[in-house]
Structure 1
Amino acid sequence: MERVGIGLIGLGTVGGSVARILDAFGERIGQRAGVELYVKRAVVRDVAKYGEFSFEVTEDLDALLDDDEISIVVELIGGIEYPFEIAKRVFARKKAFVTANKAMLAYHAQELLECSEGIPFGFEASVCGGIPIVEILRDSLVANEFEGFEGILNGTSNFILSKMIQDKYEFDEALQMAQKLGYAEADPSLDINGGDAGHKLLILARLAYGINATPEEILIEGIESVGLEDMCFADELGYVIKLVGIVKKEEDTLDVRLHPALVHKDKELAQVHGVKNAILLHGDCVGELFVSGFGAGGDVTASAVIADLVQVARLRNTGTCPYPPFGFFKIPQALRLKPREEIESAYYLRFVVRDEYGVLAKITASLAHFGISVNQILQKSSNEKAKIILITHKIQEHKIDLALDQIVTEGLLLQSPYKIRIQ
């Protein structure tokens, strides 16, 4: 069986798992792949930490890139610009490239496509861990035009929200638990502010629709402001709160956004708990397709990396990639990204007011002034304060914002109003 040398850049959680799986199960993988994959060399910052591995571990990136026995380079270090420079150097040496780096792809997908010049590269591990969503969108559902999709794309944030509703943890308590269990980094910013999931959403939107956009061009909101109180109110109204990525095609417009959303308890996404990810697709041929699985972890992500390695290894001798990495040889239609103010949604609104006669009537009158009708009302009173929860019918976002501004100026509120969109 032919042997294919792999160069790893990074031997952390995922890189270490890739190396160990190839070592332990190389024969089994080779029987399926038709080639033997082995790690020839790895590059790390501190060689002394990695004495357990039998292959060469070095700090010399050039030694890896110049090694003729290495056919495929795997980047697993994270970041944006430095990994992008590495990718360009890999392609310049006509080596295949595999990455799990969703941030680099979110910002540099088009440049990677251009500088690869048809050399195979894979990025299955960049989105949803062990769920083969890249292959599903690019290959398995090639017959479909997508009406849209929605998904839970970050396991850390989903774990936090799950603990809040299931065990009544406050946000900070749930975050600390996620860190203790290794689901969240010491600096969890990208997980809780939506950045990580937003990068993944853009990759999926590009695969499904061919758009070329950056994170700054879409709505991305995190879960930092979601409180236990709102989780409980949502539960009473028949919903759970999830961090949801949404892509919807509307004629020549594409609505792409990621934010906390109330999801009805009967929906599939509402049943996805803990560190799992999930995607609900809507294709014109296949109908609805729901896929779910673990979205993070060393072995889970390594499984996706090795799937790419097998695919790329089968293609490396051709000198070219017979499929477009991002799903299109030619983009069928230029789509306009929907501006935030044009978003249409139903909304969960929370107001804290003095418990006085006529306050609710004034709030609903302000909403009605902007054409906003109310679907459900929930009111809780204590200590001369009232918390009023309203569920609206669907309305454009800019009208909600105008109504909330007017309510604030009327001096009715004891704290700023809070809104969450409803999916």
Structure 2
Amino acid sequence: MSQTPPPQPAPPRARAEVDLGALRANVRALRARAPRAALMAVVKSDAYGHGMVPCARAALAAGAGWLGTATPHEALALRAAGIGGRIMCWLWTPGDPWRAGIEADLDMSVSAMWALTEVTAAAREAGRPARVQLKADTGLGRSGCAPADWPALVAAARAAEAEGLIKVTGLWSHFACADEPGHPSIAAQLHVFRDLLDHAEKAGIDPEVRHIANSPATLTLPESHFDLVRTGIAVYGVSPAPELGTPAELGLRPVMTLAASLALVKHVPAGHGVSYGHHYVTGRETTLGLVPLGYADGIPRHASGTGPVLVGGEWRRVAGRVAMDQFVVDLGGQTVDEGSEVLLFGPGDRGEPTAEDWARAAGTIGYEIVTRIGSRVPRVHLDPDPETDPDPESVPEADAETGPAPAGATAR
């Protein structure tokens, strides 16, 4: 007696596939660019939208010696997930959880006296020293201690260190224009950074690491590598700037592929308005395809009329305005079934657009395209690390939101 085959699972509404194998390869490629420096993989903002915990584990497995986050809450979430090793966080505000950071063995950035006061008070309460990294503003004009205030901050930190309240583990800064090769601020910032390092070290500070290089500096400025490089967007295979080259030219591979399933395909006559405001009107009889993603999912409204997708083997553009939950593409009379895959961006292997194509369409940068993808879009992590998934070839149980995941994938 023959058995009826089980029904095939319906394709998900949308998904962001995250290739952890590509991420690990990117980390190895970046380490090769800075062979004498340790590498920090920055996993802030949910790993630039890719899923913080799986990406952190993959980066560590590939040889990253440090992880970096913006907020202490992100860093503490990594510890809560069981991730050890060195984790640095740098965006503190008054009243933030300094004591929890001390007890979690975080490396915590200090840019001003108020922060040093709070972290030393927390160290007294915790009964153990805090790991502190002093940040200098060498010309970016965001966080960091101004050069005029640096001697006082260094002296106070050295006194707190002598009292056993802190250990200064690092001295660091951040570039303003490393993604613009030859910009005069690059050399100027390096000069200021070296001067401030010299002052701190003469005052008795003996840091483990000195660092200023971000992703573009890691790729193009070996003189900026010092003891540690902080790689963010490059870890995820997105070029820090078109001027520096494509991901392939930089030896990187994009990690995220954003896909959706067509929710509706319909024939409409010439002169049919599409989406709010009728900024797009069909010029002839055609077919329209409805993509169930919108600006609530991170699709830029600024890409209305310009955002590219691959559907039915053809590039199409967003027709009319991107709405909160959906947008339309004019299929040009092509008949495509509901449920067919729409590729918004990915590595480009199948002819699909890339995150950089969307960045150009929206007048922004690739960083924003991947980071803004919202929580309604499930991340499906492909090629999990064998050290954290003992059976990477197994098929995970169905996820309540995404349905069954592909073999070798985990969904969150």
- TM-score where L is the length of structure 2: 0.30
Greater fraction strand: 1
Please identify which structure carries the higher helix content: 1
TM-score for the superposition, normalised by structure 1? 0.29
